[in-house]
Amino acid sequence: MPTDSLPTRILRAANRAPLLVMLIASALLALPAASLAARMALGRLGVNPAEILLRQPGSWSLELLLLVLSVGPLRQALVMLSCRRRARYGKRLSDWNWLVRLRRPIGLAAFFYALLHLTVYALLDLDGDWHELFNDLRDKRHVAAGMASLLLLVPLALTSTDAAVRLLKRHWKRLHTLVYPASLLALTHFVLLSKPGVVAPLVHGVVLAGLLCCSCRQRFFRNHPLMQADGSVPERSGTPPAASS
């Protein structure tokens, strides 16, 4: 029997050590906050440190929400790529289960950075006056959109445990579809805050639109005959799914 390649061994190990994968992911997701704190401590936030402290966590939160939405399409694309390359490993959705496990730390990091964004806004822009926040919610559309996005993320963060999955059962997946409107509202918040001519909101919007299209396509083809009952994708029509490794 041929020896597995190094990438195959790494992928198998990722599936067999989910806790290690999540710990590594969590450490990487904490790096932006650690870097921002270090720059603040060293006084290296530039001429407008308050702007950096406010904007960066909000941008990270939006980008992490887009990353959460990309997990499903990426997993599907990797399965199809493995099938086309006739790889020994990777032709089943279950071969990429480690990617799905990353949704939890990424989603929690998105919530954390959104909460940090709100905290900095309340402390630096509003001087801790929460009554002023309610006024902004009433008068400023970008504040209302951002707050609505954060509120939608709260139940997702609170139910991001194995116990919540067992308790809610099939309702858990329905609840976590709130990530779609939360992402749309976060993008709306970003667009409303951006100056005319800035390209970043357009890029984020195109990425989100593409991810939403991929999600709709996945849901539409979920019961397609090419998708096998065990979650695998055959190399071509009429070919049995790859055997479990």
Is the Cβ–Cβ distance between 241 and 233 less than 8 Å?
Answer: yes
Per the structure block, which two tokens stand in for 220? Answer: 């539409």
| Residue 28 pLDDT class (50, 70, 90 cuts) | very high
Residue ranges per domain, the chain? 7-220
Alpha carbons 128 and 113: distance in angstroms, whole number:
18
- Which letter, b or e, does each residue of 6-15 get, where b requires 16 or more Cβ atoms within 10 Å of its Cβ? eebeebeebb
Share of the chain above pLDDT 70, in %: 87
Give per-residue pLDDT as tens, 39-93: 999 989 888 899 999 999 999 999 999 999 999 999 989 999 988 888 878 888 8
Q: Which of 188, 163, 160, 195 is nearest to 175 (CA)?
A: 160
The total number of residues written for the chain in this structure: 245
> What is the residue-averaged pLDDT of the chain?
86
Q: Are 175 and 168 in contact (CB under 8 A)?
A: yes
Distance CA 135, CA 18 (A): 45
